[in-house]
Amino acid sequence: MIETERLILREYTWQDLDAIYEILSDPETMRHYPKPFDKEQARNWIAWNLHNYGEYGFGLWAVILKETGELIGDCGITLQDIDGERLPEIGYHIHKKYWRHGLGSEAAKAVRDWAFANTRYDWLYSYMKYTNVGSYATAIAIGMKKVKEYPDEKNGISYAYAMTREEWEDRKQ
Ligand SMILES: CC(C)(COP(=O)(O)OP(=O)(O)OC[C@H]1O[C@@H](n2cnc3c(N)ncnc32)[C@H](O)[C@@H]1OP(=O)(O)O)[C@@H](O)C(=O)NCCC(=O)NCCS
């Protein structure tokens, strides 16, 4: 469990299905994805993360707003294919009613700090479709810089943002 000023990040449970389905089935939230998720994809999403916790010790974690106890999104680390390499990626999805309040970057900063403190990765990435301004603005907000722009079957063009352990340590000084 990770705690920040306004949030708790914890592992998903099957009780979270309806709440995350509401977020991932929303067309506006998912406009940079091929299409919004159906219930089966939301179920697979939780199953994939439960598997990742066991396999790697991390995954996307449920993001809970402390004030209300509500699940407002997810954020965490998964291994993603970024231009042909399997790399640790910080991912985030926040319910649209909470966008632009600093919650996505608050969660992502906590995940960044957790990952550098608890894994041996020297680089952390975020990648996204080139049109996903909210996503790359969040990557920049947590200290990442654009390291790659590449053609991608899924996204047309993808951007990869990243930061190094050294940059993270310098930020803490
Ligand atoms: C990406 C996402 C998680 C950001 O969540 P959020 O809670 O709104 O993010 P924050 O409020 O912490 O914003 C972080 C920074 O990004 C900026 N930002 C966020 N959304 C933005 C947008 N749509 N356009 C431009 N800038 C944006 C903020 O201004 C802030 O910048 P600052 O630090 O300079 O002030 C949210 O937009 C989302 O869930 N999008 C849909 C799912 C998605 O596409 N996820 C990424 C998949 S690759």
- The tokens for 21 are 């389905």
Query: Does residue 134 have its Cβ closer than 6 Å to ligand 1?
Result: yes
Three-class SS state of 150: strand
Q: Are 101 and 127 in contact (CB under 8 A)?
A: no
Reported as a pLDDT band with limits 50, 70 and 90, residue 10 is: very high
> Is the pLDDT reported for residue 146 higher than 80?
yes
Query: Which pLDDT tens digit goes with each residue over 35-78?
Result: 999 999 999 999 999 999 999 999 999 999 999 999 999 999 99
Give the model's pLDDT for residue 66. Answer: 98
Domain ranges of the chain: 2-172
Handedness of CA 121, 91, 163, 32 (dihedral sign): positive
CA 137 – ligand 1 centroid, Å: 6
CA 134 – ligand 1 centroid, Å: 4
Give the model's pLDDT for residue 109. Answer: 98
Atom of ligand 1 nearest to the CA of 33: 44
Task: Determine the topology of domain 2-172 in CATH.
Answer: Aminopeptidase (3.40.630)
Query: Which pLDDT tens digit goes with each residue over 159-173?
Result: 999 999 999 999 887
Torsion of CA 11, 48, 113, 95, to 10 degrees: -70
Query: Which pLDDT tens digit goes with each residue over 19-34?
Result: 999 999 999 999 999 9
Query: Does residue 95 have its Cβ closer than 6 Å to ligand 1?
Result: no
Percent of the chain residues topping a pLDDT of 70 = 99
Give the model's pLDDT for residue 128. Answer: 98
